[in-house]
Structure 1
Amino acid sequence: MPELERTIEAGETLAFLDEVGFSLKPTVTRTWAPCGHPPVLEAKTNWQKVSTIGAITTTGQFLQHTHQAAIKGTQVIAFLTHLLRRVKGKVTVLLDNASIHKTKALSAFVTGEPRLSVVYLPAYSPELNPIELVWAYVKQQMLANFCPKNLPTLKSRLLQAWQRVRYIQLPTRLLSGSDP
Structure 2
Amino acid sequence: MTPPTARTWARRGHTPVIRVRGRSQRRISIAALACYKQGERSRVIYRPKRHVDHKRGGRRSFAWTDYRDLLIAAHQQLGGPIVLVWDNLNVHKDARLRAFIDAHDWITCYFLRAYAPDLNPVEGIWSLLRRSSQSNTAFVDPDHLMRTVRHGLRQIQYRGELIDGCLAGTGLTTTTSRQQAQ
Give the CA deviation at 1:29. 2.2
Give the C-alpha shift of residue 86 in structure 1: 1.4
Distance 1:155 1:101 in 2: 24
CA distance in structure 2 between the aligned counterparts of 1:172 and 1:95, rounded to whole angstroms: 18
Structure 1: stretches of 5+ with no match in the other structure = 1-23
Are positions 1:76 and 2:76 aligned together?
A: no
Partner amino acid, structure 2, of 1:58: Y
- Check whether the contact 2:33–2:46 (CA below 8 A) recurs between aligned residues: yes
Q: Deviations over 1:40-99 (max 9, x none)?
A: 664442342210000111231110000013111111111111111112322110101111
> Hey, which of these two has a bigger chunk of strand by percent?
1
**Which letter maps to 1:162?**
L
Aligned residue number for residue 114 of structure 1: 105
Match of 1:175 in 2: 167
The CA distance in 2 between the partners of 1:31 and 1:144, in whole Å, is 11
Shift of 1:30: 0.8
Q: Does 1:57 align with 2:35?
A: yes
Q: Residue 129 of structure 1 aligns with which residue?
A: 120
Q: Whose radius of gyration is greater, 1 or 2? A: 2
How much is the aligned-residue C-alpha RMSD, in angstroms? 2.3
Task: Give the residue type in structure 1 aligned to 2:3.
Answer: P
User: Structure 2: which 5+ residue stretches go unaligned?
Assistant: 11-15, 52-60, 170-182
How many matched pairs? 152
Report the TM-score, using the length of structure 2 for normalisation.
0.75
Q: SS at 1:54's partner residue?
A: strand
Q: Is the 8 A contact 1:25 1:43 kept in 2?
A: no
Q: CA deviation at 1:173?
A: 3.2
